[in-house]
A and B are shown apart, each in its own frame.
Chain A
């Protein structure tokens, strides 16, 4: 019999006994962010707050329709927020949830960004599309203690200017010491910002690679190229963290739907150090 791995030992500590039981949450806000994306604000029925770390996710359910993994987009101190994109049956129901309606929440699950590891150095956030949502609580965590960090840079790529998330908030972050650079895939002539792939921003991003912690979230293909661009720039693979997305179902490392070889993305991730992922990112099957 082989010795259990660290990962298995961590998992064997086990989830809370009620981890599979959704808690009822009431929708207290539904803000339209873009054409197909809304941010839901949720309040626990019965009072007990969720409590989460930036980077974690919940299993969010529309009763009678289904359950999906959604990253938490709110800061640790605020009410629970989920930014949801209408991409399928369950999310279509979720984005239509009106104030007063009830949703189910399991979690929080998974690992966090641990942005505090970047104290004393530079922090670069690289987001693609809705990947900005899971990074938002980490950005806010850094901003809450801004003086503890050097340069703080957000490189954000999205499809078109109309699909930029949290537009007003990006301006506030800029005013509070985050160098925000937005780049879009395509723009109208009235767009005065950058057009191209987000990797284009990495070589000239104003951060010192030798003292940088990089937190990356977006489509997996984008993250792969961003990680390469960051290492080319001189950021150590162990100082780059990616948030992976797989088909999370149980959320507690039991069902195996989100398995990435020996890793369970829901329990060992979703946030991983890049050096741990390098041999796994090119796998077509596990």
Chain B
């Protein structure tokens, strides 16, 4: 069975990280598995972990009284989820629910933040990766705000 340190270089999020840096982040990581329907995290909860998905699918959901639960994004193989560990007050703003059997690596946010503080080079490398993913998701969210597939009739109301 492969150790986390051996798994991380294969994940797109960590591509390009050197071995000493991988060793540092591995120290904050554990292997986790979720069955369909299990929550990785819940809205309002303390954002103690972030995840890289190895296999499976996770729905990012929001619940409102008017619309019930709505899935606003999904994250699958090779993607990352749970950025709230990075920004105070470290609180999740959405639910993360496994849609199918999902294997992931979970990182302790407090542990990672500590290592980033101690080693700015590692911190910068992680920030580059996180900001790249956040940028992509922000662009996608902006385009989706256009409701481009919606009917002009719906938009008129």
- B99 contacts the other chain (CB 8 A): yes
Q: Give the residues from 124 to 157 in chain B that come closer than 8 angstroms, CB to CB, to chain A.
A: 139-140, 143-144, 146-153
- A36-B153, A159-B147, A219-B148 known; A196 and B69 CB under 8 Å? no
B148 touches A129 (CB 8 A): yes
Task: Determine how close the nearest CB of chain B comes to the CB of A204; give it in whole angstroms.
Answer: 7
Shortest Cβ distance from residue A230 to the other chain B in the assembled complex, whole angstroms: 15
Residue ID in chain A nearest B70 by CB atoms: A186
B149 and A219 form a contact (CB under 8 A):
yes
What residues on B are CB-neighbors of A225 within 8 Å? 139, 143
Q: Which of B70, B77, B99, B149 contacts A192 (CB 8 A)?
A: B99
A180 to chain B, nearest CB (A): 16
- Which of A158, A188, A218 touches B68 (beta carbons < 8 Å)? A188
Asked if B72 CB lies within 8 Å of chain A CBs, one says yes
Task: List 10 A–B pairs whose Cβ atoms lie within 8 Å, in order of A's numbering.
Answer: A88-B152, A129-B149, A185-B149, A187-B71, A188-B68, A192-B99, A197-B143, A199-B140, A199-B143, A221-B146
Closest Cβ of chain A: how far from B130's Cβ, in Å?
Answer: 17
A276 shortest CB reach to chain B, Å:
23
Contact call A195/B59, Cβ cutoff below 8 A: yes
Contact of B148 among A193, A195, A204, A222 (CB under 8 A): A222
Q: Which of A158, A189, A192 contacts B61 (CB 8 A)?
A: A189
- Interface residues on chain A, size class: 20 to 34
List the B side residues contacting A163 at CB < 8 Å. Answer: 149
**Given A87, A158, A191, A193, which contacts B152 in the complex, CB threshold below 8 Å?**
A87
Partner of B140, one of A129, A191, A192, A196: A196
Write out the residue numbers on chain B whose beta carbons fall within 8 Å of the beta carbon of A222. Answer: 143, 148
Report A's interface with B, CB cutoff 8 A. 36, 85-88, 128-130, 157-159, 163, 185-189, 191-197, 199-200, 204, 218-219, 221-222, 225
Residues of B that sit less than 8 Å from A by CB: 57, 59-61, 68-74, 76-78, 97, 99-100, 139-140, 143-144, 146-153
Do most interface residues of chain B lie in helix, strand or loop, or is the interface mixed?
mixed
- Once the chains are docked, how many angstroms separate the CA of A194 from the CA of B97? 13
Judging by beta carbons under 8 Å apart, are B72 and A195 in contact? yes
Closest beta carbon of chain B to A193's beta carbon, Å: 8
Q: How far apart are the CA atoms of A123 and B59 in the complex, in Å?
A: 30
CB atoms of B71 and A188 under 8 A apart: yes
Q: Are B140 and A189 in contact (CB under 8 A)?
A: no
- Give 19 new A-B contacts, CB below 8 A, not counting A88-B152, A188-B68, A194-B74: A88-B153, A128-B149, A185-B144, A185-B149, A187-B59, A187-B71, A188-B69, A188-B70, A188-B71, A189-B61, A189-B71, A192-B100, A195-B60, A195-B73, A197-B143, A218-B148, A219-B146, A222-B148, A225-B143
How many angstroms from the CA of A129 to the CA of B153 in the assembled complex?
15
- Would you call A186 and B143 a contact (CB within 8 A)? no
Known: A187-B70, A188-B71. A158 touches B99 (CB 8 A): no
Asked whether B143 lies within 8 Å of A86 as measured between CB atoms, the reply is no
A204 touches B149 (CB 8 A): no
Q: Which residues of A contact B99 (CB under 8 A)?
A: 192
Contact A196 B73 (CB under 8 A): yes
How far, in angstroms, from A222 to B150 measured CA to CA in the complex? 13
Whether A195 and B71, one on each chain, are in contact in the complex, defined by CB atoms closer than 8 angstroms, is: yes
Question: How far is the CB of B55 from the nearest CB of chain A, in Å?
Answer: 13
Closest A residue to B37 using CB positions: A189
